[in-house]
Amino acid sequence: MSCILVMNKFTNRKRIYIMNTRKVAILATNGFEESELKSPMEAMKKEGFDVHIVSLEAGKIKGWADGNWSNEYNVDKVISDVKADDYNALMLPGGVINPDMLRRNKHAVNFVKEFFKQGKPVAAICHAPQLLIEADVVRGRKMTSFNSIKTDLINAGANWVDQEVVCDEGFVTSRNPNDLPAFNAKLIEEVKEGKHDMQHA
């Protein structure tokens, strides 16, 4: 939350206005595709959003880039200590290892599901929709992903399309790191818009 001080030139009185900062959770664990966490996080912070990396355990998580382990990132919150009520939106980076680890954790699955139930924006890129299949939130939704999980999503009831970014009532998806500029722009737009009545689990 931030404040701005405004002076009324007619009454010469000062008034403080409270500005609500958008708060976004990035849910990730070891093996996330580094660019798919770093790029959206930096874009959202540039917009003034309060961004938290939420993970399975406290400490640091290690990224994946160009076929090898990459940089470590500090975990801000542990999944068992947060709930969807604490945030305005959720962002899910991909990577092969990351979503496979998250989908096995009941706290992570329920955390994701609650964002959809509450009509809040959710953005997922690359392999991240594997976690959404586990949360049973893709049925009837128009979306995209990395092409290797296309069949999994179709079998789960999704309307899969091959586009750089797809937005279905606050639900944003993209295929791979090449789509990040479009993904980031649409993610930020949807977070600013807030809840969507047609967003659902």
Which residues are the active-site residues? 126-127
Phi and psi based region of residue 103 (left: phi greater than 0; alpha: psi -120 to 50; beta: remaining): alpha
Cα–Cα distance, 190 to 127 (Å, whole number): 21
* Neighbouring residues of 134: CB distance < 8 A, sequence distance ≥ 6: 103, 109
State the amino acid at position 25 in one-letter form: A
Bridge partners of residue 142, in order along the sequence: 159
CB atoms within 10 A of CB 19: 9
